[in-house]
Amino acid sequence: MKVIKKSKELQTLIEREKKKGKIIGLVPTMGYLHSGHISLIKRAKKDCGIVVVSIYVNPTQFGPGEDYQRYPRDLERDKKLAKEAGTDILFVPSDEEIYPDSFHTYIQVEELSGRLCGVSRPIHFRGVATIVAKLFNIVKPTKAYFGWKDAQQLIILKKMVKDLNMDVEVVGLPTVREKDGLAISSRNKYLSKQERKIAPILYQALVKAKKMVNSGENNSARVLQQAKDLIKKKKGVKIDYLKAINLIDLKDAKKIKKNTLIAIAAWIGKTRLIDNVII
């Protein structure tokens, strides 16, 4: 596995591989790799001749007072995990490499970026779209891999690719979960022992909602109320949103049907977690 810090060097290397006919797969990450990332890397390895994994804690997607400073970082551990999973090239750019002083261009996917997480994190998806567009331009991948856990991010990135005619396929892969259902996330590391015990309630609420739908209830308000009631029974969880939305425009779905997304964001202590299920 090659570790590269400079965009130019990466671009030259990728061009060489493309000339040899290699298909390039990209897995963008903010590091502190976990089994969700590993599943993306392994799938990329199956599909593509060269797998590039980027590790960059992107400052522009964190709002004031968010966890940019304390976001977990451990490059040596990441190198080992990335290599084991089949990464060919690890791209670890510096802040100066990505956002030099002269940087002034941002990508804003209108409408979608303001819904769900965008309400409490108003600049988040502008930062995500911008860094991912930059990575697409540097790596020029045929395919790029993201987890469905960040469903809104995935939908926004697919929209960006379509709207800006980017020549890349955005592939979404299923959420990887702990045995007790908690969606795997780098932020789970912030949870205290007690909070970690409570955290699976988010998924349990989503499962409850899905079960209600499967047994014939399609009224969103009723389904969501039951899921909220379940969460309310646990102390220490504050719901940011719990919504049934359609996957195209992320607007509220009054009736739940096939392809409705039930999505939650909630605070457990100081940690904000997200999760979702698709009907």
Q: Which residues fall in the annotated binding site for (R)-pantoate? A: 61, 153
Instruction: For residue 128, state whether it binds ligand PAF (rule: CB under 6 A).
Output: yes
Identify whether the C-beta of residue 14 lies closer than 8 Å to the C-beta of residue 8.
no
- Give 185 or 260: the residue with its C-beta nearer to ligand PAF: 185
Yes or no: say if 207 and 277 are a contact pair by the CB < 8 Å rule. yes
Q: What is 16-36 written as a DSSP string?
A: HHHHTTPPEEEEEE-SS--HH
Q: Which residues of 74-101 are buried (b: 16+ CB within 10 A; e: fewer)?
A: eeeebbebbeebbbbbbbbbeeeebbee
78 is a contact residue toward ligand PAF (CB under 6 A): no
Which of residues 29, 130, 142, 152 is near ligand PAF by CB under 6 A?
Answer: 29
Question: Counting contacts by CB under 6 A, is residue 132 touching ligand PAF?
Answer: yes
Whether 104 is catalytic is no
Per-residue b or e along 225-255, where b marks 16 or more CB atoms closer than 10 Å to that residue's CB: eebeebbeebeebeebbbbbbeeeebeebee
Instruction: Write out the H or E segment, with its range, that includes residue 41.
Output: helix 35-47
Decide if residue 58 touches ligand PAF (CB under 6 A): yes
Candidate segments 23-31, 66-74, 193-201, 202-210, binder of ligand PAF by CB under 6 A:
23-31
Q: Does 28 bind ligand PAF (CB under 6 A)?
A: yes
x/- map, 200-219, ligand PAF, by CB under 6 A: --------------------
Rule CB under 6 A: choose which of 36, 39, 98, 150 binds ligand PAF.
Answer: 150
Q: Which is nearer to ligand PAF, 30 or 256 (CB)?
A: 30
Residues of span 87-126 touching ligand PAF by CB under 6 A: none
* Separation in Å, CA 67 to CA 58, 63, 109, 215, 270: 11, 8, 23, 40, 10
Q: Which residues contact 101 (CB under 8 A, 6 or more apart)?
A: none
Q: Other C-beta atoms within 10 Å of 157: how many? A: 26
Q: How far is the CB of 252 from ligand PAF (least distance, A)?
A: 24
Which SS3 state, helix, strand or coil, does residue 149 take?
helix
40/262 with CB nearer ligand PAF: 40
Closest distance between ligand PAF and the C-beta of residue 239, in Å?
Answer: 22
With H, G, I as helix, E, B as strand and everything else as coil, classify residue 167.
coil
176 binds ligand PAF (CB under 6 A): no
Annotated catalytic residue within 10, 25, 37, 143: 37
Please report whether residue 30 would count as binding ligand PAF according to CB under 6 A.
Answer: yes
CA distance to 11, 52, 225, per residue, from 83 (Å): 20, 11, 45
Closest by CA position to 73, among listed 59, 88, 87, 89: 59
By C-beta, is 157 or 253 nearer to ligand PAF?
Answer: 157
Annotated binding site for beta-alanine: 61
Nearer to ligand PAF, 185 or 220 (CB): 185
User: Judged by CB under 6 A, does residue 276 bind ligand PAF?
Assistant: no
- How many binding residues for ligand PAF (CB under 6 A)? 10
Residues that bind ligand PAF (CB under 6 A): 28-30, 58, 61, 128, 131-132, 150, 153
- Active site (catalytic) residues: 37
